[in-house]
Amino acid sequence: MDSAELLDLLGNANRRRILRLLAHKPCYVTEISEYIGVSPKAVIDHLQKLEDAGLVESRTDDQRRKYFSIARNLRLEVRVSPYEFGTKSAYPANSGLDISACRHLSIDLNDEESGDLRDLAHELEHLEQLENELSLAQRWVQGRVTKVRDEFEDRAGDGDGRLYAELVSALAHGSASVSRLVRRVEAPPELVEEALRRLDDEGIVEQTRDGWQLR
């Protein structure tokens, strides 16, 4: 599902209210209907759309009652900046991720099994503090990204600096074909090709058999 469809889906107030409720506990249709004040039929329609998008999941209990909850491995991120607009869905909220693979991040990992409720409470407090710190770090990184892209745009000086910055950023991850770059920066092919030729003239990128890459 692309960004526009996902944002349209979440643009409905009742669907957002359903997600807020499910963030507190799993619920069945009647509970949701009573909470948001709409008919069970309308709730079922909303839940179907949310489930199709992968935002919620369901299970049936022993009494054949169907419970809905927010998908466990879901994190939805909406990004709007001078250089970016879009969403990331199904972002893994998974404790099994290998955090040691992050070269620029140092975290004191504790792999010991949690003990009683007091130990769990301390671990939860520690993780919430870490989450706050990571949020601050992310804001700092986004600020730096915007500043660097601003400088790139200023130095380009011909009005296409933003596109140049996006292309250079995309090629920083490795060589890419024109068609791949077109999808990445969401610009017309002829505009991307012209920008690549200008960057080639400046000695910033070069064309190879595998596509375009940074020099």
Complete DSSP assignment for 76-113: -EEEEETTEEEEE-S----TTS-GGG-TT-------SP
- Nearest alpha-carbon partner for 26 in 87, 68, 84, 75: 68
Structure confidence at residue 88 (pLDDT)? 66
Q: Would you state the CATH architecture of domain 3-70?
A: Orthogonal Bundle (1.10)
- Asked, colleague to colleague, whether 3-70 and 157-214 share their fold, the answer is yes
Residue 124 token pair: 């939860």
Q: How far, in Å, CA of 209 to CA of 215, rounded?
A: 14
Structure confidence at residue 46 (pLDDT)? 96
Structure confidence at residue 48 (pLDDT)? 95
Structure confidence at residue 110 (pLDDT)? 61
- Nearest alpha-carbon partner for 153 in 83, 213, 86, 207: 83
State pLDDT tens for residues 115-150: 788 888 888 888 888 888 888 888 888 788 778 777
Structure confidence at residue 199 (pLDDT)? 85
All residue ranges of the chain with pLDDT < 70 are: 1-2, 83, 88-100, 108-114, 153, 155-161
The residue extents of the domains of the chain are: 3-70, 95-152, 157-214
Q: Would you state the CATH architecture of domain 157-214?
A: Orthogonal Bundle (1.10)
Q: Specify whether the CB–CB gap between 165 and 152 falls below 8 A.
A: yes
